[in-house]
Amino acid sequence: MGGRSSRKTRAATSVNEIMSRLGTAVERMENPAVEKIAEDQKSDPFQVLISAMLSAQTKDAVTLEASRRLFHRAATAEAILGLKLREIEQLIYPVSFYRNKARHLKETCRQLLDRCGGRVPVTMAELVSLAGVGRKTANLVLIIAYGSNRNICVDTHVHRIANRLGWVRTRTPEKTEQALYDVVPQQWWPSVNLFLVTWGQNVCRPVYPLCSNCGVRDLCQRVGVTKVGRSSTALGIE
């Protein structure tokens, strides 16, 4: 029993140290697209929700520009619902699956107006009942728009890096989310997505991660890493 408790304490200490270092490092890097939209719109829940929906399997630069084009034309549920489907498609192109996303946006706006008085829900159950909204999007909205400290948002970057660090041994982002609640101290839950996504885009890449320049390499188990990339710039914490 004592050995298990000791291992858990050491693991928590390692996670704390990694998150602390990453927090310092990502301050010098660009925020993910949905974070930028939140900054632009002062964390407006509706626009955070729509941007998060657009961001799925889409590069940040594309998400950011598509979101800004859409909100310039229609920034509320009523306004988007008033657009023709083809117009929404043109505004959000070239986000991935833009036709499906355009349909989901219209349906979500209809649901918000019909069921929620136009307001974005504040619970996981209500959010995932909206068209095209899964746990990742719902967690992101709860964290960014509503300041929740009880959620962890897991996308492909978080899933990959959490496994690479050795924090979890999981096969899906959904399983990773559940596992991380037991591994990461709660003080870091709202920051997991921001820190690991930013790190994953710049350093801990899916292919050829920049391990030699990584500021947490001494604490990383490098699970599954067979080849690494090279960079002439130190990316980490001195």
Residues 6+ apart with CB under 8 A from 64: 33, 36, 37
How far apart CA 172 and CA 175 sit, in angstroms, is 5
* Active-site residue, selected from the candidate residues 136, 182, 218, 227: 136
How far apart CA 98 and CA 72 sit, in angstroms, is 18
Active site residue 155: yes
* Active-site residue, selected from the candidate residues 155, 175, 182, 227: 155
How far apart CA 70 and CA 105 sit, in angstroms, is 11
Packing angle, helices 192-202 and 135-144, rounded to 10:
110
Active site residue 218: no
- Nearest one of 199, 191, 193, 236 to 217, comparing CA atoms: 236
Residues that are catalytic: 136, 155
